[in-house]
Amino acid sequence: MEWLMPFRQVVRPVPIIVAWVVITFSAIVSAAVNREEVRIDVLHIGTSSSLASGEKAAKEAAAMETLQGFIKMETGLNNDITSQQEWHQLADKLARGEFQLGMFEGYEFAWARQKHAELKPLALAINVYRYPIAYVIARQDGQAKDFGALQDQTLALPTGATGYLRLFIDRQCRASGKKPENYFSRITTPSNFEDALDDVVDGIVQAVAVDQAALEAYKRRKPARFNRLKPVAHSQPLPPPVLAFYNGVLDNATLDRMREGLLNANRKERGQTLLTYFRLTGFEAIPSDFDRVLEQTLKAFPPDSESK
Protein backbone atom coordinates (compact mmCIF):
# COMPACT_ATOMS: atom_id res chain seq x y z
CA MET A 1 0.00 0.00 0.00
CA GLU A 2 1.49 3.31 -1.12
CA TRP A 3 -0.28 5.35 1.56
CA LEU A 4 1.91 4.06 4.37
CA MET A 5 5.59 4.88 4.75
CA PRO A 6 8.16 2.06 5.04
CA PHE A 7 8.13 0.22 8.34
CA ARG A 8 10.27 1.16 11.30
CA GLN A 9 10.12 -0.73 14.57
CA VAL A 10 7.68 0.36 17.27
CA VAL A 11 6.63 -1.13 20.61
CA ARG A 12 3.49 -1.04 22.70
CA PRO A 13 2.58 2.24 24.42
CA VAL A 14 3.13 3.11 28.05
CA PRO A 15 2.17 6.52 29.47
CA ILE A 16 4.68 9.03 28.10
CA ILE A 17 4.83 11.21 31.20
CA VAL A 18 7.01 8.74 33.09
CA ALA A 19 9.43 8.46 30.17
CA TRP A 20 9.75 12.23 29.91
CA VAL A 21 10.48 12.63 33.58
CA VAL A 22 12.91 9.74 33.98
CA ILE A 23 15.18 10.82 31.16
CA THR A 24 14.82 14.53 31.88
CA PHE A 25 15.88 13.94 35.46
CA SER A 26 18.94 12.05 34.26
CA ALA A 27 19.92 15.12 32.30
CA ILE A 28 19.21 17.45 35.23
CA VAL A 29 21.23 15.31 37.62
CA SER A 30 24.14 15.40 35.19
CA ALA A 31 23.93 19.18 35.16
CA ALA A 32 23.82 19.35 38.96
CA VAL A 33 26.80 17.03 39.35
CA ASN A 34 29.00 18.71 36.74
CA ARG A 35 28.15 22.26 37.75
CA GLU A 36 28.02 22.65 41.50
CA GLU A 37 26.78 26.24 41.43
CA VAL A 38 23.50 25.07 39.83
CA ARG A 39 21.36 24.10 42.79
CA ILE A 40 17.90 22.65 42.36
CA ASP A 41 16.36 21.79 45.69
CA VAL A 42 12.92 20.99 44.30
CA LEU A 43 12.25 20.69 40.61
CA HIS A 44 8.67 21.48 39.71
CA ILE A 45 7.41 19.81 36.53
CA GLY A 46 3.99 20.35 35.05
CA THR A 47 2.29 18.10 32.55
CA SER A 48 -0.73 18.41 30.32
CA SER A 49 -3.55 16.05 31.24
CA SER A 50 -3.92 15.09 27.55
CA LEU A 51 -0.57 13.26 27.78
CA ALA A 52 -2.02 10.79 30.26
CA SER A 53 -4.02 7.65 29.50
CA GLY A 54 -7.09 7.89 31.68
CA GLU A 55 -7.73 4.17 31.75
CA LYS A 56 -4.39 3.63 33.47
CA ALA A 57 -4.66 6.47 35.98
CA ALA A 58 -4.11 4.24 39.01
CA LYS A 59 -1.09 2.54 37.48
CA GLU A 60 0.27 5.87 36.33
CA ALA A 61 -0.08 7.35 39.82
CA ALA A 62 1.76 4.37 41.31
CA ALA A 63 4.48 4.71 38.69
CA MET A 64 4.89 8.39 39.53
CA GLU A 65 5.21 7.63 43.21
CA THR A 66 7.82 4.98 42.50
CA LEU A 67 9.67 7.31 40.17
CA GLN A 68 9.78 10.13 42.69
CA GLY A 69 11.18 7.76 45.30
CA PHE A 70 13.81 6.51 42.86
CA ILE A 71 14.94 10.03 42.00
CA LYS A 72 15.14 11.00 45.66
CA MET A 73 17.16 7.89 46.50
CA GLU A 74 19.54 8.16 43.55
CA THR A 75 20.07 11.91 43.43
CA GLY A 76 18.88 13.47 46.67
CA LEU A 77 16.63 15.78 44.67
CA ASN A 78 13.14 16.44 45.86
CA ASN A 79 10.65 16.72 43.04
CA ASP A 80 7.03 17.05 42.25
CA ILE A 81 5.16 16.23 39.06
CA THR A 82 1.79 17.86 38.69
CA SER A 83 -0.75 17.24 35.95
CA GLN A 84 -2.76 20.28 34.94
CA GLN A 85 -6.34 19.94 33.82
CA GLU A 86 -5.85 22.30 30.89
CA TRP A 87 -2.87 23.17 28.71
CA HIS A 88 -3.33 26.91 29.29
CA GLN A 89 -3.04 26.41 33.04
CA LEU A 90 0.32 24.72 32.48
CA ALA A 91 1.48 27.55 30.21
CA ASP A 92 0.44 30.23 32.71
CA LYS A 93 2.26 28.50 35.58
CA LEU A 94 5.41 28.18 33.50
CA ALA A 95 5.21 31.90 32.77
CA ARG A 96 4.85 32.67 36.49
CA GLY A 97 7.81 30.43 37.37
CA GLU A 98 5.69 27.93 39.32
CA PHE A 99 7.05 25.18 37.07
CA GLN A 100 10.58 24.99 35.67
CA LEU A 101 9.60 22.53 32.93
CA GLY A 102 6.38 21.68 31.18
CA MET A 103 5.30 18.80 28.97
CA PHE A 104 2.77 19.56 26.23
CA GLU A 105 1.20 17.80 23.33
CA GLY A 106 2.68 19.43 20.25
CA TYR A 107 -0.56 21.12 19.19
CA GLU A 108 -1.05 22.44 22.74
CA PHE A 109 2.41 23.99 22.59
CA ALA A 110 1.40 25.74 19.36
CA TRP A 111 -1.69 27.11 21.11
CA ALA A 112 0.25 28.18 24.22
CA ARG A 113 2.82 30.11 22.21
CA GLN A 114 0.11 32.42 20.91
CA LYS A 115 -0.18 33.92 24.40
CA HIS A 116 3.29 33.19 25.75
CA ALA A 117 5.92 34.11 23.15
CA GLU A 118 8.70 33.41 25.67
CA LEU A 119 7.68 29.77 25.96
CA LYS A 120 10.51 27.80 24.34
CA PRO A 121 10.86 24.16 23.22
CA LEU A 122 13.79 22.26 24.70
CA ALA A 123 13.42 18.90 22.92
CA LEU A 124 10.91 16.77 21.03
CA ALA A 125 9.85 13.27 22.08
CA ILE A 126 9.84 11.03 19.02
CA ASN A 127 8.12 7.75 18.35
CA VAL A 128 9.51 6.65 14.98
CA TYR A 129 8.45 9.80 13.12
CA ARG A 130 9.31 13.37 14.01
CA TYR A 131 5.91 14.57 12.84
CA PRO A 132 3.18 11.96 13.42
CA ILE A 133 0.12 11.59 11.20
CA ALA A 134 -3.34 10.60 12.43
CA TYR A 135 -5.23 8.11 10.25
CA VAL A 136 -8.81 6.89 10.15
CA ILE A 137 -8.78 3.36 8.74
CA ALA A 138 -11.63 1.27 7.30
CA ARG A 139 -11.91 -2.07 5.51
CA GLN A 140 -10.59 -2.18 1.98
CA ASP A 141 -13.86 -3.66 0.70
CA GLY A 142 -16.05 -1.29 2.70
CA GLN A 143 -18.23 1.41 1.19
CA ALA A 144 -16.69 4.29 3.14
CA LYS A 145 -14.45 6.47 0.98
CA ASP A 146 -14.13 9.48 3.26
CA PHE A 147 -14.79 10.54 6.84
CA GLY A 148 -18.30 11.73 6.02
CA ALA A 149 -19.34 8.19 5.11
CA LEU A 150 -18.64 7.09 8.69
CA GLN A 151 -21.44 9.11 10.25
CA ASP A 152 -23.72 6.89 12.32
CA GLN A 153 -21.16 4.08 12.05
CA THR A 154 -18.98 2.54 14.78
CA LEU A 155 -15.47 3.85 15.54
CA ALA A 156 -12.74 2.19 17.57
CA LEU A 157 -10.67 4.66 19.60
CA PRO A 158 -8.11 2.70 21.66
CA THR A 159 -7.75 3.69 25.27
CA GLY A 160 -4.10 4.58 24.69
CA ALA A 161 -4.91 6.96 21.81
CA THR A 162 -2.73 10.05 21.81
CA GLY A 163 -4.09 13.54 22.20
CA TYR A 164 -3.60 14.38 18.55
CA LEU A 165 -5.65 11.35 17.47
CA ARG A 166 -8.52 12.50 19.66
CA LEU A 167 -8.12 16.06 18.39
CA PHE A 168 -8.26 14.93 14.76
CA ILE A 169 -11.43 12.89 15.33
CA ASP A 170 -13.03 15.71 17.31
CA ARG A 171 -12.41 18.33 14.63
CA GLN A 172 -13.55 16.05 11.81
CA CYS A 173 -16.84 15.50 13.62
CA ARG A 174 -17.30 19.14 14.58
CA ALA A 175 -16.95 20.14 10.93
CA SER A 176 -20.39 18.53 10.58
CA GLY A 177 -21.69 20.31 13.65
CA LYS A 178 -21.54 17.29 15.95
CA LYS A 179 -19.42 16.00 18.80
CA PRO A 180 -17.84 12.54 18.30
CA GLU A 181 -20.30 10.85 20.66
CA ASN A 182 -23.15 12.15 18.52
CA TYR A 183 -21.47 11.68 15.16
CA PHE A 184 -20.82 7.96 15.57
CA SER A 185 -23.43 5.42 16.56
CA ARG A 186 -20.92 3.96 19.02
CA ILE A 187 -17.29 4.49 20.02
CA THR A 188 -15.51 1.41 21.32
CA THR A 189 -12.32 1.55 23.40
CA PRO A 190 -10.12 -1.50 22.74
CA SER A 191 -7.12 -1.83 25.03
CA ASN A 192 -4.58 -1.52 22.21
CA PHE A 193 -4.22 -0.56 18.56
CA GLU A 194 -3.74 -4.10 17.29
CA ASP A 195 -7.06 -5.23 18.73
CA ALA A 196 -8.72 -2.14 17.31
CA LEU A 197 -7.38 -2.83 13.82
CA ASP A 198 -8.42 -6.47 14.12
CA ASP A 199 -11.94 -5.29 14.95
CA VAL A 200 -12.05 -3.36 11.66
CA VAL A 201 -10.82 -6.33 9.65
CA ASP A 202 -13.35 -8.60 11.36
CA GLY A 203 -16.22 -6.19 10.75
CA ILE A 204 -16.89 -5.54 14.43
CA VAL A 205 -16.43 -1.80 13.89
CA GLN A 206 -16.38 0.21 10.68
CA ALA A 207 -13.31 2.35 11.39
CA VAL A 208 -10.44 3.00 13.77
CA ALA A 209 -8.34 6.04 14.65
CA VAL A 210 -4.66 5.15 14.64
CA ASP A 211 -1.26 6.73 14.11
CA GLN A 212 1.30 5.82 11.50
CA ALA A 213 3.67 4.10 13.90
CA ALA A 214 0.96 1.74 15.13
CA LEU A 215 -0.08 1.01 11.54
CA GLU A 216 3.46 0.00 10.69
CA ALA A 217 3.63 -2.33 13.67
CA TYR A 218 0.39 -3.95 12.48
CA LYS A 219 1.73 -4.26 8.94
CA ARG A 220 4.80 -6.05 10.25
CA ARG A 221 2.89 -8.43 12.52
CA LYS A 222 -0.11 -9.13 10.30
CA PRO A 223 0.65 -8.20 6.68
CA ALA A 224 -2.28 -10.13 5.18
CA ARG A 225 -4.75 -8.42 7.47
CA PHE A 226 -3.10 -5.06 6.89
CA ASN A 227 -3.73 -5.42 3.16
CA ARG A 228 -7.46 -5.58 3.88
CA LEU A 229 -7.42 -2.02 5.21
CA LYS A 230 -7.51 1.43 3.63
CA PRO A 231 -7.30 5.03 4.85
CA VAL A 232 -10.42 7.16 4.58
CA ALA A 233 -8.96 10.27 6.22
CA HIS A 234 -5.65 11.48 7.57
CA SER A 235 -4.16 14.57 9.13
CA GLN A 236 -1.26 16.67 8.02
CA PRO A 237 2.05 16.01 9.82
CA LEU A 238 1.65 17.19 13.41
CA PRO A 239 4.13 18.32 16.06
CA PRO A 240 5.09 15.63 18.59
CA PRO A 241 5.08 16.09 22.38
CA VAL A 242 7.31 18.95 23.50
CA LEU A 243 9.36 19.50 26.65
CA ALA A 244 9.27 23.25 27.17
CA PHE A 245 10.57 25.97 29.47
CA TYR A 246 9.89 29.65 29.94
CA ASN A 247 12.72 31.90 28.85
CA GLY A 248 14.80 33.09 31.81
CA VAL A 249 13.58 30.59 34.40
CA LEU A 250 16.59 28.26 34.07
CA ASP A 251 20.10 29.39 33.11
CA ASN A 252 21.52 28.54 29.69
CA ALA A 253 24.25 26.23 30.98
CA THR A 254 21.71 24.05 32.79
CA LEU A 255 19.42 24.02 29.76
CA ASP A 256 22.31 23.02 27.49
CA ARG A 257 23.28 20.10 29.74
CA MET A 258 19.68 18.97 30.01
CA ARG A 259 19.27 19.12 26.25
CA GLU A 260 22.47 17.16 25.69
CA GLY A 261 21.38 14.48 28.14
CA LEU A 262 18.05 14.07 26.38
CA LEU A 263 19.53 13.92 22.89
CA ASN A 264 22.09 11.29 23.94
CA ALA A 265 19.67 9.09 25.87
CA ASN A 266 19.69 6.42 23.15
CA ARG A 267 23.48 6.09 23.39
CA LYS A 268 23.39 4.84 26.95
CA GLU A 269 22.24 1.41 28.04
CA ARG A 270 19.78 2.74 30.61
CA GLY A 271 18.53 5.34 28.16
CA GLN A 272 17.94 2.71 25.47
CA THR A 273 15.96 0.57 27.89
CA LEU A 274 13.80 3.49 28.93
CA LEU A 275 13.15 4.63 25.38
CA THR A 276 12.14 1.14 24.28
CA TYR A 277 9.92 0.51 27.28
CA PHE A 278 8.11 3.83 26.96
CA ARG A 279 7.48 3.65 23.22
CA LEU A 280 9.92 6.37 22.28
CA THR A 281 12.67 6.00 19.71
CA GLY A 282 14.53 9.06 20.93
CA PHE A 283 14.60 12.76 21.64
CA GLU A 284 15.47 15.29 18.99
CA ALA A 285 16.72 18.85 18.94
CA ILE A 286 14.32 21.45 17.63
CA PRO A 287 14.47 21.25 13.80
CA SER A 288 14.55 24.27 11.50
CA ASP A 289 11.03 23.63 10.21
CA PHE A 290 9.41 23.31 13.64
CA ASP A 291 7.94 26.83 13.66
CA ARG A 292 6.44 26.21 10.23
CA VAL A 293 4.78 23.00 11.44
CA LEU A 294 3.42 24.85 14.47
CA GLU A 295 1.96 27.54 12.22
CA GLN A 296 0.35 24.95 9.95
CA THR A 297 -1.08 23.20 12.99
CA LEU A 298 -2.58 26.45 14.27
CA LYS A 299 -4.28 27.02 10.93
CA ALA A 300 -5.70 23.51 10.72
CA PHE A 301 -6.46 23.06 14.43
CA PRO A 302 -6.97 26.42 16.13
CA PRO A 303 -7.89 26.28 19.83
CA ASP A 304 -11.65 26.26 20.20
CA SER A 305 -13.58 28.25 22.77
CA GLU A 306 -13.70 25.25 25.12
CA SER A 307 -9.91 24.85 25.21
CA LYS A 308 -8.85 28.48 25.54
Angle between helix 106-115 and 87-95 (nearest 10): 50
The answer to whether the 16-129+238-300 and 134-234 domains have the same CATH topology is yes
**Distant-in-sequence contacts of 114-117, Cβ < 8 A, 24+ apart:** 114/298, 114/303, 115/88, 115/91, 116/91, 116/92, 116/246
**Per CATH, is 134-234 categorized as 3.40.190.10?**
yes
Quick one: fold of 16-129+238-300?
D-Maltodextrin-Binding Protein; domain 2 (3.40.190)
pTM (two decimals): 0.82
| Chain-centre distance for alpha carbon 82 | 17
Extents of the domains making up the chain: 16-129+238-300, 134-234
Asked if residue 230 lies in contact with residue 285, where contact means CB atoms within 8 angstroms, the answer is no
**CA geometry: angle 70, 67, 265, nearest 5 deg:** 90
DSSP 206-256: SEEEEEHHHHHHHHHH-HHHHTTEEEEEEPPP----EEEEETTSS-HHHHH
Q: 96-151 pLDDT, tens per residue?
A: 999 988 889 999 999 999 999 999 999 998 888 999 999 999 999 999 999 999 99
Most confident of 15-19, 42-46, 153-157: 153-157
Q: Alpha carbon of 295 to those of 160, 290, 305: distances in Å?
A: 27, 9, 19
Of the candidate ranges 29-38, 63-72, 236-245, 271-280, the one whose mean pLDDT is the lowest: 29-38
- Give the pLDDT confidence score for residue 9 in this predicted structure: 40
* pLDDT surpasses 70 at 254: yes
